């Protein structure tokens, strides 16, 4: 027992502090790409030809973060360093159009309106729907509950029943077999409800877009409130998007649950 306590004290604090902006990820992390179209040679299509998901368009140069797998094949193929992947994990957006990244500023996710923030800003229960994914995104969602990210300190928790949820978190490309389950789960969540699409598959179908059994992500008639790009997204990308959507990143950074939750 004494040895355990000693080891615990030696470990120190492992939980990431807020504001999250202070967190720096290692160089090998592939976050938001930085584009410099002025470096592109006329007629060069090396990046778009290398892309496995047609996420890149040229003239003007732009990347659809909702389809990007962050594989960096485009960066490797580019002969003039026009595309460079940075370590910026802040990628989530409130609309599909906002995921189209071009040169210049990338707009971060906006907060919900005042009414929705009053409802969900301090306590948000979510039901996860794995709609035909590889479990990569699901693993990162599970990681949000560990001691490093400690999602529940912000009042956000996953629940077993959609009847007890304020919204759903969708992962996977939405296969034929899972579409019905997704719609039933969405219908079982009381209104007003939130829909969060996590990962390239849920946003656009990812590498499975166009496959016979894939519906290309969340069906268009289910309105999505937050898109979290990545393949899979880093837990910090998910956490950053959630806190921005809930209006918890104002005044320079996210606050922990307010008032403190009873344990």
User: Is residue 238 a contact point for ligand SF4 (CB under 6 A)?
Assistant: no
Q: How many CA atoms lie within 13 A of 175 on its CB side?
A: 12
Q: Smallest gap, in angstroms, from Cβ of residue 68 to ligand SF4?
A: 3
Nearer to ligand SF4, 76 or 176 (CB): 76
> Which of 92, 246 has the CB closer to ligand SF4?
92
When the beta carbons of 162 and 206 are compared against ligand SF4, the nearer one is 206
Axis-axis angle for helices 235-245, 136-143 (nearest 10)? 70
Best CA proximity match to 55, nearest among 38, 74, 40, 41: 74
| Closest approach of ligand SF4 to the CB of residue 72, in Å | 5
Binding mask 17-36 for ligand SF4 (x = CB under 6 A): --------------------
Tokens read off for 169: 């978190």
Question: Considering only residues 74-103, where is the footprint of ligand SF4 by CB under 6 A?
Answer: 74
Angstrom distance (rounded) from CA 122 to CA 256: 9
Smallest distance from ligand SF4 to CB 73, Å? 4
Please state whether beta strands 83-85 and 33-35 pair in parallel, antiparallel, or not at all (unpaired): antiparallel
**Of the two residues 100 and 188, which places its CB atom closer to ligand SF4 in the complex?**
100
Tell me how far, at minimum, the Cβ of 85 lies from ligand SF4, in Å.
Answer: 7
| Residues contacting 17, CB < 8 A, separation 6+ | none
The mark string for 36-75 relative to ligand SF4 (x by CB under 6 A, - otherwise) is: --------------xxxx-xx------x----xxxxxxx-
Q: How far is the CB of 54 from ligand SF4 (least distance, A)?
A: 8
| Residue 250 C-beta: closest distance to ligand SF4, Å | 31
C-alpha–C-alpha distance, residues 36 and 49, integer Å = 18
Q: How many C-beta neighbours within 10 Å does residue 24 have?
A: 9
Q: Tokens for 65? A: 């973060």
Q: Which is nearer to ligand SF4, 73 or 108 (CB)?
A: 73
Between 57 and 188, CB nearer to ligand SF4: 57
Neighbouring C-beta atoms of residue 197, cutoff 10 Å:
29
- Residue 241 C-beta: closest distance to ligand SF4, Å: 18
Residue 41: CA atoms inside 13 Å, Cβ hemisphere, count?
9
Nearer to ligand SF4 by Cβ, of 73 and 116: the residue is: 73
Task: Compute, in degrees rounded to 10, the torsion defined by CA atoms 154, 87, 199, 78.
Answer: 170
Let me know the angle formed at the C-alpha of 142 by 73 and 192, rounded to the nearest 5 degrees: 100
Sites of contact with ligand SF4 (CB under 6 A)? 50-53, 55-56, 63, 68-74
């Amino acid at each position: 027992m004494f040895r355990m306590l000693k080891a615990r004290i030696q470990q120190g604090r492992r939980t990431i502090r807020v504001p999250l902006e202070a967190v720096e990820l290692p160089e090998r992390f592939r976050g938001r790409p930085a584009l410099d179209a002025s470096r592109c040679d006329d007629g060069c299509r090396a990046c778009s030809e290398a892309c496995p998901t047609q996420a890149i368009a040229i003239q003007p140069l732009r990347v659809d973060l909702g389809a990007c797998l962050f594989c960096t094949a485009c960066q490797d193929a580019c002969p003039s360093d026009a595309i460079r992947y940075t370590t910026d994990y802040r990628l989530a957006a409130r609309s599909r159009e906002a995921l189209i990244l071009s040169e210049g500023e990338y707009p971060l996710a906006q907060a919900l309106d005042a009414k929705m923030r009053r409802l969900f800003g301090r306590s948000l229960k979510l039901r996860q729907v794995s709609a035909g994914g590889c479990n990569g995104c699901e693993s990162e969602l599970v990681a949000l509950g560990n001691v490093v990210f400690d999602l529940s300190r912000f009042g956000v928790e996953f629940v077993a029943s959609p009847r007890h949820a304020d919204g759903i978190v969708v992962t996977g490309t939405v296969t034929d077999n899972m579409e019905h389950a997704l719609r039933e789960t969405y219908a079982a969540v009381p209104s007003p409800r939130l829909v969060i699409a996590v990962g390239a598959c849920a946003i656009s179908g990812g590498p499975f877009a166009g496959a016979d059994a894939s519906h290309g992500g969340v069906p268009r008639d289910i309105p999505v409130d937050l898109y979290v790009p990545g393949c899979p997204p880093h837990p910090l990308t998910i956490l950053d998007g959630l806190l921005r959507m809930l209006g918890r990143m104002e005044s320079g950074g996210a606050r922990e649950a307010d008032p403190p939750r009873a344990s």
